[in-house]
Amino acid sequence: MHKPPIIAGEVLFDHFPDGKRVLGGAPFNVAWNLHGLGVDSLFVSAVGDDQSGHEILKIMSDWGMKTRGVQVNDHATGQVAVTIDGGQPSYEIVHPVAFDFISPLTDDVSSKNYSLLYLGSLAFRNQQSRATLTELIQSSKLPRFVDVNIRDPWFDQSWLDVLIQDAKWVKMSDEELIRLSSIEHCDTVDQVVKGTAELGARYNVNTFLITAGGDGAYMIDNGDPIHAPAPEPAKMADTVGAGDSFAAAMIAGFTLGHSPQQSLDHAVAFASRVCGLSGATTNDRNFYRLG
């Protein structure tokens, strides 16, 4: 039996222009999709003692996810206003909210019980959650999968000194790689290798996962690149959660012992299919069986 990963960070409701409200937050999307793909996890976050918070806990339970890692505190449950322009989302993220105040964990979070630790960057924006997640990195000593989600104004490059230093896997988009390294464009594999080599030397990271939209994704392992092209989505709704679904499928591949190329191919194909959803997740189990 495979040890579960720990997925830690934000959970919130995305509010779309058409009035639709969809449960989200990058770490939550990863945990939800992992469960759909057959990999259970310990999801660590916080919600408010309000209608939205109670709804999140019920939705998680109905989907079969464990809720014991989700704390309830006195702050409002997270929410984001999403706007879509040309299929590309932009976000207005409310602050402060419940996931900014995650308290220290009491579980044994060592490798005896868990396989890896996934972290996004947004939950680092507030001091309390940043301290809790930093302690989780230090106490668990688990292999770390870090998803760099730059959501201005809620990003500070100094966080990377803790978040990705010595991480086993670091995922980011091609646009984020350009922003964080000295490369000026990311349209060739040589540029991807150059940018990741620079960050790898700075933060002692060997393996990078770089998503490139319609060009698919790259895995750069000790400077050696592999690539998976993106299939054309059968239908396109939006790209909300595409990167999160990619991350979930990669973690599932690592957990289930798939090869790097097999994991990358599956992750890109799965992320392409998620672009056909409005939002990042679905409770249609057949969607995941096909994934």
Confidence of residue 291 (pLDDT cuts 50, 70, 90): very low
Q: What is the pTM of this model?
A: 0.93
3 state SS for 147-169: ECCCCCCCCCHHHHHHHCCCCCE
What are the pLDDT digits (tens) for 69-96?
999 999 999 999 888 887 777 888 999 9
Does domain 6-290 fall into CATH 3.40.1190.20? yes
pLDDT tens profile 100-113: 999 999 888 888 89
Where are the extended beta strands (E) located within the chain?
Answer: 6-8, 12-15, 21-24, 42-48, 70-73, 78-85, 88-93, 117-120, 144-147, 169-173, 207-211, 217-221, 224-228
Question: pLDDT digits over 212-238, tens only?
Answer: 988 999 999 999 999 999 887 656 555
Give the separation between CA 125 and CA 207, rounded to whole angstroms. Answer: 25
Query: Which residues on adjacent β-strands are paired with residue 225?
Result: 220
Q: Report, in this order, helix, strand and coil percent for the chain, each rounded to 5.
A: 40, 20, 40
Return the pLDDT at 235: 63
Q: Which amino acid is at 101?
A: F
Peptide bond into 229 cis (omega under 30): no
Compute CA 113 distance to the chain's CA centroid, rounded to the nearest angstrom.
21
Range with the poorest average pLDDT among 54-68, 133-147, 185-199, 229-243: 229-243
Ordered by start, the domain boundaries in the chain are 6-290
Place of tokens 């206003």: 81
- Closest to 240 (Cα-Cα) out of 276, 208, 209, 266: 276
